[in-house]
Amino acid sequence: MASSKLTKLLVDVHSHVYLPRYTALLRSRSNAPLIKTLTNPDGKPDDRLLILADEPSTGRPVGPQYWDRDEKLKFMDKHGIDVTVVSTANPWLDFLPPPEAHKLALELNEDLEQYCSTSPKVVDAQIPRLFGFGLLPLVPNVSVDALLQSIKQIAQLPHLRGLIMGTMGVGKGLDDEALDPVWAAIEEAGLVIFVHPHYGVDAKAWGERDNGHVLPLALGFPFETTTAITRLIISGVLDRFPNLKLLLAHSGGALPILSSRLSSCIVHDPVVASRLKHDARYYVGKLYLDAVSYGPEEMGYASESLARASRYQTGSQETASHSSLAVKRSLGSKRMMFGTDHPFFPPLSSTEKWKSVVENLQAIEDVQGWSEEDKDGVRGGNAVELFNLNIS
């Protein structure tokens, strides 16, 4: 295998799919999440996706880009993406009763394996163009056995290299001690956990004015991820399971920028302070972040926040000014990786490339302090390593 080729691949770690089996389920439903078919003024059918119960009843347009693998490959070709690690889009199985969620998780994991294993290979590198994140039946009252069985299945399916999850756990969030056996099994299997938002925050925060989807998407999603991972950190999960590989959607939302404030609030609160082994910033530096933040300054900062783990490890003698900014940004960049959020954020008008994708690629290019090697890492090399994409 041409390893020099592997360091130059463009790998998308944030790309969603509703597999045909899942799409069929959405079409069969009468309350959200669902897909319904309206009729356009010109008489043509118009598929609409309603993800949330309180969404406007027109929903959003949905089409083959959500379920047709050829559309995914076309999108990849258009943007020069060599490999994609595909995940089911929210809300996953959250709305199903345990037996149905369990059965569907097993089926969808097999479906996704099939989707990936029959994909074309990257020319020259001879690795598949599609890998996947599996699903767990994370719903209230599910048995631990069902969860462990799904983890075992994912670990055994060769093209699945991790799993995607929302922020609800089995109903009480990711700081629920009932999840400890789940963390233990995922850690043991070496699977990457892609944590992704769905619920946002209470819509009352957005006020009365019509701002379309701007506030829930721009703020609600990142707030949700920030809250979920903060709760996970301060409950001690990363002390108990230090080798968990958590990849956060949307560059971790606000967590990196609020991590020093979080640290200060913890130090002033003995309940939480006495519970943790390290400064909050240590744990933040142990995370992985997608590079889906749309600006070079944002990405530069994210890499700085990721480079701080060793400084904030208990007992560290390292000081803030130890290294140059470029050295710190370079170090942190190793934990960041390109993503597109496809098929969400489609262009308003049909253009050659998607604006959001072009922007994120340009942002990677423009980060000050990242070497060409660092940028290659963020574009693909880091994902090749984290997901072992060179091992089939």
In the complex with its own copies, which residue's Cβ is closer, 327 or 391?
Answer: 327
Sheet containing 11-17: give its strands across. 11-17, 83-88, 130-134, 160-165, 192-195, 245-248, 288-290, 336-337
CB of 255 to its own copies, least distance (A): 9
Least spacing, CB of residue 366 vs its own copies, in Å: 4
**CA–CA dist 257, 255 (Å, integer):** 6
Task: Kindly state the tokens that stand for 26.
Answer: 């959405």
Residue 270 CB, shortest distance to its own copies, in Å, is: 7
Of the pair 123, 320, the CB lying nearest its own copies is at 320
Nearer to its own copies, 117 or 323 (CB): 323
- Least Å distance between CB 293 and its own copies? 6
State in angstroms the smallest separation of the CB of 117 from its own copies: 34
CB atoms within 10 A of CB 127: 19
Rounded to whole angstroms, the Cα distance separating 101 from 38 reads 28
* CA 377 to chain centroid: 18
Angle between helices 255-267 and 221-234 (to 10 degrees): 40
Using DSSP bridges, classify how beta strands 45-50 and 60-61 pair: parallel, antiparallel or unpaired: antiparallel
Identity of the residue, 153 or 230, whose beta carbon is nearer to its own copies in the bound complex? 230
Nearer to its own copies, 73 or 265 (CB): 265
Q: How far is the CB of 207 from its own copies (least distance, A)?
A: 5
Nearer to its own copies, 278 or 281 (CB): 281
Report the distance separating Cα 389 and Cα 383, nearest Å.
Answer: 8
Residue 73 vs 219, nearer CB to its own copies = 219
End-to-end CA distance of the chain: 11
Identify which of 175, 176, 172, 96 has the alpha carbon closest to the alpha carbon of residue 136: 96
What are the residues facing 170 on neighbouring strands? none
Angle between helices 180-189 and 144-156 (to 10 degrees): 10
Min CB(294)–its own copies separation in Å: 4
